[in-house]
């Protein structure tokens, strides 16, 4: 089987990771994408390899506070109200997980995907042209004071249970550690053994070249359908022709839903609209990537400038940017980095693939020979290499040390 042909659909971080690990296992691999590699959510993220990102958006307090959040112009949660009728079935199932039991369950499911992110990225890129983009670092959560940190105790208890115990920095020592921060930011919870990607888009492009260096192929093509006429995958049909294969991996992020529908698999998946702003040639940058908890955004110094990414908006796949999320992000950035100046700014909008239970779909669809590797919500860059390795192991029939049933693609049926 290891010499069989595998087609991987989607040239983001998850897809290219799967393709590389499959190629290293001896498979003949073709990676397909309708666009250039690394141009979707793999481009427009916070750059952070956030191993501690094991808390779903549907944490405690979301249900009682959701109406207030949506109506509060200073809270980073937005909804395009015209989209609400279409969103409601998904939203109802999504909010049903906003309780302690489900949050703890989802958190445990996320740990194997992201918990060793830096090591997984290093293993994927070591000795290749992509290695230069991976940088080890600390990762700081910024709070106004200890009281704000202690309000997050449920999340931190889950992180500690997973092995993430922070170093605490308080008072004036906060500005000694991170001079960029406003004086009223008086508490840091800082974690070791994290990292960031200096330029996620170029990193993914480099990984695609690594795949080609190692004997794989990349073809820009729009996938239209799968040939399952014999009950098992035999080819992937595209606008560039037919690609014969014995196995296929669907790793196209939010666009995967259109293809799973063709496979008779109705996944409750929505696009979470994510924004970032890059402040070009910034006057100052943080010493380490950080999560600004009050504004729910992350800030990372990368090769294009200071990237600030965050804000949650639900409103479908329209590529039109909403002004309010970007205005709020700028306001929050100014409040925590009051002395920051930049030569120019670059805005971005993209789409995170959000299943109702915040867990990715990794596994074979029945006995079709088609495997899923999508639905990573906020953890795509962080968890891409591990997810790719997991699906490659499944195809290579290598036993997993993890309970893969939690990622079962047919779990919603």
Summarised one tens digit per residue, pLDDT across range 229-270 is 988 999 999 999 999 999 999 999 999 999 998 898 999 999
> What is the enclosing helix (H) or strand (E) of 201?
helix 200-213
DSSP 357: T
Q: Which pLDDT tens digit goes with each residue over 193-219?
A: 999 999 999 999 999 999 999 999 999
Distance between CA atoms of 104 and 154, rounded to whole angstroms?
9
Question: What is the pLDDT confidence band of residue 58, given thresholds at 50, 70 and 90?
Answer: confident
pLDDT of residue 312: 84
Q: Do 208 and 257 fall within a single domain?
A: yes
Structural domain boundaries enclosing 168: 52-113+134-196+271-355
The whole-number average pLDDT for the span 287-299 is: 95
> Does any domain span residue 126?
no
pLDDT at position 275, please? 94
In angstroms, how far is CA 260 from the centroid of its own chain? 20
Residues 67 and 181 in one domain: yes
- Gap between the Cα atoms of 405 and 363, Å rounded: 8
Average pLDDT over residues 172-183: 97
Q: How many domains does the chain have?
A: 2
The pLDDT of residue 75 is 73
User: Residue 277 CA to chain centroid, in angstroms?
Assistant: 17
In a domain, 216, yes or no: yes
334, 355, 376 - which closes a domain: 355
Q: What is the CA radius of gyration of the chain?
A: 21
Phi, psi dihedrals of residue 257, rounded to the nearest 5°: -60, -40
Q: Inform me whether the pLDDT recorded for 84 exceeds 80.
A: yes
- List Cα–Cα distances, 404 to 364, 396, 401, in angstroms: 11, 15, 9
Give the pLDDT confidence score for residue 264 in this predicted structure.
Answer: 87
Same domain, 155 and 60: yes
Pick from 1-10, 155-164, 221-230, 377-386: least confident = 1-10
What burial class does residue 375 get, using C-beta atoms within 10 Å of its C-beta: 0-12 exposed, 13-18 middle, 19+ buried? buried
Same domain, 264 and 175: no
Phi, psi of 217 (to 5 degrees): -135, 145
Handedness of CA 79, 199, 333, 137 (dihedral sign): positive
**252 and 380 together in one domain:** yes
Distance CA 267, CA 413 (A): 8
The kind and range of the H/E element at 381 are: helix 380-395
Q: Which residue has the higher pLDDT, 63 or 389?
A: 389
Q: Lowest-pLDDT range, 25-34, 65-74, 152-161, 393-402?
A: 65-74
- Give me the pLDDT at residue 351, please: 95
Q: Are residues 308 and 347 in the same domain?
A: yes
Report d(CA 189, CA 181) in Å as an integer.
14
Q: Are residues 207 and 191 in the same domain?
A: no
Query: For residue 61, what pLDDT is reported?
Result: 67
380: nearest Cα among 410, 351, 344: 351
For residue 121, what are the contacts with CB-CB under 8 A and spacing of at least 6?
49, 134, 195, 197, 385
pTM of the model: 0.95
Structure tokens at 45: 């993220």
Note whether residue 276 is domain-resident.
Answer: yes
């Amino acid at each position: 089987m290891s010499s069989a042909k595998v087609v991987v659909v989607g040239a983001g971080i998850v897809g290219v990771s799967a393709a590389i690990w499959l190629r290293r296992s001896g498979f003949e691999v073709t990676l397909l994408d309708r666009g250039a590699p690394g141009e979707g959510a793999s481009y427009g993220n916070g750059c952070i390899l956030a191993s501690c990102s094991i808390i779903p958006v549907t944490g405690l307090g979301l249900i009682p506070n959701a109406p207030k959040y949506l109506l509060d112009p200073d809270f980073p949660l937005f909804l395009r109200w015209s989209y609400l009728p279409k969103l409601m079935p998904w939203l109802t199932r999504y909010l049903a997980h906003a309780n302690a039991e489900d949050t703890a369950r989802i958190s445990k499911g996320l740990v194997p995907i992201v918990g060793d992110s830096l090591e997984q990225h290093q293993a994927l890129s070591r000795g290749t042209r992509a290695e230069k983009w991976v940088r080890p670092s600390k990762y700081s959560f910024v709070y106004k004071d200890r009281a704000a940190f202690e309000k997050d105790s449920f999340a931190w208890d889950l992180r500690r249970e997973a092995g993430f115990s922070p170093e605490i920095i308080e008072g004036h020592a906060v500005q000694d550690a991170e001079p960029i921060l406003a004086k009223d930011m008086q508490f840091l919870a800082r974690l070791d053994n994290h990292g960031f990607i200096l330029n996620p888009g170029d990193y993914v492009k480099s990984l695609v070249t690594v795949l080609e260096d190692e004997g794989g192929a990349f073809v820009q093509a729009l996938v239209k359908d799968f040939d399952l006429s014999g009950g098992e995958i035999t080819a992937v049909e595209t606008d560039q022709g037919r690609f014969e294969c014995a196995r296929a991996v669907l790793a196209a992020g939010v666009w995967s839903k259109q293809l799973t529908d063709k496979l008779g698999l109705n996944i409750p998946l929505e696009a979470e609209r994510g924004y970032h702003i890059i402040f070009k040639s910034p006057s100052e940058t943080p010493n380490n990537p950080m999560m600004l908890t009050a504004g729910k955004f992350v800030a990372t110094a990368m090769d294009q400038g200071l990237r600030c990414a965050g804000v949650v908006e639900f409103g479908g796949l329209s590529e039109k940017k909403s002004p309010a999320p970007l205005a709020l992000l700028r306001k929050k950035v100014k409040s925590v980095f009051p002395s920051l100046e930049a030569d120019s700014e670059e805005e971005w909008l993209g789409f995170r693939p959000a299943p109702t239970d915040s867990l990715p779909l990794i596994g074979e669809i029945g006995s079709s020979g088609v495997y899923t590797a999508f639905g990573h919500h906020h953890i795509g860059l962080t968890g891409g290499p591990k997810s790719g390795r997991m699906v490659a192991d499944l195809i290579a029939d290598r036993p997993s040390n993890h309970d893969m049933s939690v990622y079962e693609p047919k779990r919603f049926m």
